[in-house]
Amino acid sequence: MNLLSARSQLRLMLGDQSESVWSDSDLNEVLNRSNIRIWRRIASEDPGATNRSVDYTYPADSSGISIVGASAGFNTGTSVATDVNAVISLEKVFYKTGGSTSFIEMPIGSPAQFNEISSGTSSAYDMLGVLPHLMGGYAGFLGDGRTKLLVRPVPSTELTIRLFMNTELAEDALSADGSGLLNGENLTFHEAVIYDAGFLCTFKDESIREEFMSMREDVMSMLSMQATSIHEAY
């Protein structure tokens, strides 16, 4: 479903007087907000449904790379439908060197572990439990407000990094009438975006607001039936 269809359906639900209360621009703004709200909820409750894989080049001797925005180091030939706007969660990280044909999983460390590390040696990582099985391997960390990937120890050779992550939608993802709800994915939950927009529009009428909320929750209840764990997804 696209923005035009969603706006038309929302107007039908809001009633005959909707055009005198909400302009197309007003409803587009509300639908954009609801689009993001429902996407985040899906990402939280069923990460496998919003997960994406993106390859990056991690240069030798680099302290970190940007993984968001058009300037991120996407690998040549990697198909990225839209730029990565922000990272909700990092689920899996893999790497390989130039001479390797297969990827190796890289443990994901926490910010607390990163701050505690004072040495770049593999033994320091091993003592922290970040690399319990891989001597001389790497650990990945999110940095700078989840906009960068930091690999430690700093690699002395170029790495190809493959990230499996849940990313935010752009604030203006529904920028044109032909724009697809929920990035054109998760079709089951497109109606939930419309119901949530109705919920946001009717804050002055509690009874109607409760009806929109109930319809939204009916659709979102299907999340629990189709949720796939991250481990099953890969």
pTM score, whole prediction: 0.75
What six digits make up the tokens of 34? 């609801």
Average pLDDT over residues 45-71: 83
pLDDT of residue 77: 42
* CA angle, residues 182, 168, 221, in degrees to nearest 5: 50
Tens digit of pLDDT for each residue in 64-75? Answer: 988 887 555 555
pLDDT at 132: 44
pLDDT of residue 172: 84
pLDDT score, position 11: 95
Strands (E), the chain: 51-58, 65-66, 87-97, 104-105, 139-143, 148-152, 159-167
Q: What is the pLDDT of residue 78?
A: 45
Residue 56: closest CA among 83, 22, 29, 19: 83
Within 59-106, strands assigned E span 65-66, 87-97, 104-105
Rounded to 5°, the CA angle 160-164-166 comes to 135
Percent of the chain with pLDDT over 90: 38
pLDDT digits (tens, 9 = 90+) for 74-86: 554 444 445 677 7
Rg (the chain; Cα; Å): 21
**Quick one: pLDDT band at residue 135, thresholds 50, 70, 90?**
very low
DSSP H/E element including 220? helix 206-220
Q: CA nearest 190: which of 201, 175, 202, 179?
A: 179
Average pLDDT score over the chain: 81
